[in-house]
Amino acid sequence: MTSHSRGASKPSRPQRPHPPRRRTGPTRPPVEDPARLAALETLRAVRQRDAYANLVLPQLLRDRRITGRDAALATELTYGAARAQGLLDAVIEACSDRPLSEVDGSALDALRLGAYQLLRTRIPSHAAVASTVDLVRAELGSGIAGFVNAVLRRVAEQDEAAWVDELAPDPDTDPIGNLAFAHAHPRWIAQAFAEALGSRDEPLKRALEADDARPAVHLVARPGEVSADELAAITGGDVAPYSPYGVHLEAGAGDPGDLEPVRERLANVQDEGSQLCALALTRAPLEGTDDRWLDLCAGPGGKAALLAALVGLDGGELIAVEKAPHRAELVRKITSGLPVTVHVADGRETDFVEGAFDRVLVDAPCTGLGALRRRPEARWRRQPADVGTLTKLQRELLTEALRLVRPGGVVGYVVCSPHLSETVGVVTDVARRTGAEVLDTRELFPGVPDLGDGPHVQLWPHLHGTDAMFCAVLRRPS
């Protein structure tokens, strides 16, 4: 750790480059670098119009017929740069003579792309700088290219560890801030992880590290159609460790939507943690009828498809509610052929009579802090203020679910977030006000290790290889 590393006394760097004006002359011939061009354009869409990188990039790759190594490179650079944005920006700012807010937006996209290659890939420095600068020259002109060149050369002077050492908060006075910086997470999110884990050191470090890695693709075999063994054999994947229907594919194994079993609706893409949470609801012991299940927040329908296939095996049915019409349509598509009726409605104001269902799933809208691995830019977009709005809605949906389930019936409350306000906070509050019993949900996750003290279940990427899903199963008093 360098002594000049923190606070106001940054090392002096002579002749920092000034961002020039954007060039207005004739356009340059296009560069032959489809992967980086696609990455740059996706980063621009993310910055300019709040687009989702994991929607924009695959479309762009398809439209331009970018495949193989170029597609893999574009994916790595785009998602990597989007994920690491906060860290990259801090380094870029340290290498520029002015705040990022005064740097041309398109130049900033290119700087993020270049800095990511320099700090987090094995691409040789000269190639990372030259390829980025060529792209900028062709796209934006030589003035901006000169600026980008100068900043990237400064970035290349040190590796990632040295930059973290120089720029991150002091680990002794702010251990969470230090880990957040080093693993490219906003501090408030690292803080939320720390509170859920009850740790500010090694477990937090491992959680943030795992959250920064590219996740494997998980598939779910449709019960009654194909087994996990068969699905693994067809796709070349591995049977998942915990879900009896799960299969893991290697990260970067191509677009899983193109796999034949997925196209033929024998399987869907679904994180193993989501599978386990849906299954937990089905595993809770129940006396009496068990053939009317409700999914109160169903879109886009991953859990609805799994639940419907299971209830359908015993002749039952699933009612799926979704507020957003376009997402309700996705539920219809993914559950076609299954015993499902889809309603477009607010789950807090449906027409169902009280006590109409045996099991109810509330897979509530949430911050998604548990699935940051899968949504590259999400961590920089979410704000702490989102939490308060969401927990109110979560409490209302869970309360309504406990009214719609019959006495003795069970409700699964699931969020893809480890934030305590969205998880234990909501469940404890609603259970207290409704008198519902919180079951020891760990018993509904057989074979899954490291589930803590219960009664709730919090899954983690670093412990379970799943998204950080939270699940609590509650029973309405008889």
Among 297, 310, 319, 340, binds ligand SAM (CB under 6 A): 297
CA dihedral defined by 283, 330, 258, 35, rounded to 10 degrees? -120
- Residue 258: DSSP 8-state: G
For residue 469, give both structure tokens.
Answer: 């899903």
| Distance, CA of 365 to CA of 387 (rounded, Å) | 11
Residue 422 interacting with ligand SAM (CB under 6 A): no
What six digits make up the tokens of 412?
A: 């699964």
Q: Are the C-beta atoms of residues 228 and 221 closer than 8 Å to each other?
A: yes
Helical segments of 64-186, H only? 68-83, 85-95, 105-120, 125-140, 142-155, 160-167, 175-182
Under the binding rule (CB under 6 A), the answer on residue 451 touching ligand SAM is no
Residues 6 or more apart whose Cβ sits within 8 Å of residue 219? 231, 235, 237, 246, 247, 248, 249, 256, 259, 261, 262, 267, 268, 269, 270
Q: Which stretch binds ligand SAM (CB under 6 A): 121-129, 138-146, 153-161, 315-323?
A: 315-323
Residue 299 within binding range of ligand SAM, rule CB under 6 A: yes
Establish whether 277 is a catalytic residue: no
- Binding of residue 216 to ligand SAM (CB under 6 A): no
| Ligand-binding site membership of 303 (annotated) | yes
Number of residues interacting with ligand SAM: please give it, by CB under 6 A: 18
At 457, phi and psi to the nearest 5? Answer: -120, 130
Binding residue (CB under 6 A) for ligand SAM from 162, 233, 313, 324: 324
Q: Which runs of consecutive H residues, i.e. helices, occur in 335-384?
A: 378-381
Integer angstrom CA distances of residue 1 from 119, 165, 197, 224, 356: 18, 6, 27, 58, 62
Selected range binding ligand SAM among 14-22, 196-204, 319-327, 382-390, rule: CB under 6 A = 319-327
Q: Is 68 annotated as a binding residue?
A: no
Shortest Cβ distance from residue 281 to ligand SAM (Å)?
11
Which position among 303, 373, 462, 476 is part of the footprint of ligand SAM (CB under 6 A)?
Answer: 303
Contact track, ligand SAM, 141-160, x by CB under 6 A: --------------------
Question: Residue 211 Cβ, how far from ligand SAM at the closest point, in Å?
Answer: 18
By CB under 6 A, is residue 347 in contact with ligand SAM? yes
Structure tokens at 144: 């901006």
Select 169 or 223, whichever has its Cβ closest to ligand SAM: 223
Q: Specify binding-site residues for S-adenosyl-L-methionine.
A: 297-303, 322, 346, 363
Q: Specify binding-site residues.
A: 297-303, 322, 346, 363
Q: Under the rule (CB under 6 A), what is the footprint of ligand SAM? A: 274, 297-303, 321-324, 327, 346-348, 363, 365
Enzyme catalytic residues: 416
